[in-house]
Structure 1
């Protein structure tokens, strides 16, 4: 838990340092590149603490607290990847394709994150399991394949279902994957 809290704090601080709160960033480039390297070490350490639950693989209900912790770790790692992506775009470096995130479940439904307690979460999670019974949860690799750069592109049913329940973090990732027009 301490590592997760530290990584989340680091994410917030790096956003402030890299992009500043005023007309210019608080940290000069290329000094920030070393911070990205250091961030990779923290990200790797956090990932080594476990990012998947067996219940998720079996499409059964995990324990609420375990789900929340693992989901928060995944969101933090995806957020750190997003920060590196934005930094790379800003300074003209090749962008990451994030293929290693492909097996991750896409960010969980807004209703699951906003539930008021364990009982409500369990009820909502049961409904969510039924909704995603065919094919399991939506994965990051599916999100990365969505590309609306052409008018003929249409969302598949799974992508539409995921978007209907996505929160702001999920929408940001969708906009990022869709906005750059890169085929993953």
Structure 2
């Protein structure tokens, strides 16, 4: 016997969407709205369901999130146990949530429901990441072959320097204009991430590809979106959600492999930036403890290596190894700048990060933005030819050593000029800060 003709079509929404008077896509297994919130999804018997929003009705424009919205959104995004949870990167529901960050992609339809703060994998939606043409499906982040040219343990103790200065350390005398410049730049990193317009320039684009996105960073890029357009009075709830995830990240970081540890380091830094610049936790004691934890995370991440073995041998490394090493260095430099902002806020001195001496300055725009392995390897071959003695080091942007003679000073300036020919916005920012602070 056939089912009644309208028995299914009249059931417009699941029980939860019907109660909330929200649009329900009636996706098999669990609708999108319930999946985002980690809620069970059930349908009332035919004829018993309350009226939901019909498929052809217009939905409301996106509105600021209230405190209940924040807590509901966090339910489906925060991990419930350890790092052994499924990643949710293949369209599966997991403790990290099945939502994926929008990145630079913006919806063409401006009528977006309040709950649609993240895009959820949908078999009917085309894959926005071209993989085969770019060869990104072949990226392999195992066996990276990295080494350390510095003593990374000094990174974890940096917070002590402002209270127990090491003899001979040089104080960085930031002009007020440079402190304000760093503040505005770092604030823009937090804002672009919260709004889903992209990622900070210390996160490589390959790290955001769904198949390669690691859980700590995946959760972060989704979770900070709850801080966009908050209603007055909701900041406390958003702060609690972020701080809880930061505690979870720090407690679990000893169980991560090198690539997950990089993602955790980057995520923890993003959370800290959002707390300070977006949620206004300027004098929050939690943030001071978070900086200590962040420096410990930076130390642990750096132990896996900051330089490719092939880089040291003046040879072309594997693209994957270079991406991890460059992302680590950029994240380190950003953390040091953020540390200087927090110290200035507290009226404490900032010391030159001499423990980073010898690390490569940020790479060229063409290397960092290369979209294919062939493009990157070709660009790196040109880089090796242009820099036979090795690329610019971060300490070459610091004050000129007093024992450097005139030819040495000229050579150093020429190397900086050559480096500036192809830097991206991150390199330009580093140069602006160091040049206006140290001269040269």
Distance 2:273 2:296 in 1: 17
- Per-residue deviation, residues 120-149 of structure 1 (Å, max 9, x unmatched): 10001000110111x211000102237xxx
Aligned to 1:5: 263
Greater fraction helix: 1
Partners of 1:18 and 1:87 within 8 A in 2 = no
Pair 1:49-2:304 in alignment: yes
TM-score, normalization by structure 1: 0.86
- 3-state SS in 1 of match to 2:359: coil
- Which runs of 5 or more structure 1 residues have no equivalent in the other structure? 147-152
- Which runs of 5 or more structure 2 residues have no equivalent in the other structure? 1-258, 401-408
Q: 1:49-88, aligned counterparts within 5 Å? A: 49-88=304-343
Pair 1:160-2:417 in alignment: yes
Partners of 2:399 and 2:439 within 8 A in 1 = no
Aligned to 2:229: none
- Per-residue deviation, residues 136-182 of structure 1 (Å, max 9, x unmatched): 11000102237xxxxxx987100001111111111111122123348
The alpha-carbon distance between structure 1 residues 47 and 110, as it changes in their structure 2 partners (threshold 3 A), is: same
Pair 1:121-2:376 in alignment: yes
Q: 1:102-181, aligned counterparts within 5 Å? A: 102-133=357-388, 135-145=389-399, 156-181=413-438
Partners of 1:109 and 1:167 within 8 A in 2 = yes
Residue in structure 1 matching 2:287, options 32, 40, 56: 32
TM-score, normalization by structure 2: 0.37
Distance 2:264 2:387 in 1: 33
- 3-state SS in 2 of match to 1:160: helix
How many angstroms does 1:26 deviate by? 2.6
Partners of 1:78 and 1:101 within 8 A in 2 = no
Partners of 2:392 and 2:419 within 8 A in 1 = yes
How many angstroms does 1:32 deviate by? 2.1
Aligned to 1:149: none
Q: Which has the higher contact order (CA 8 A, sep 6+)?
A: 1
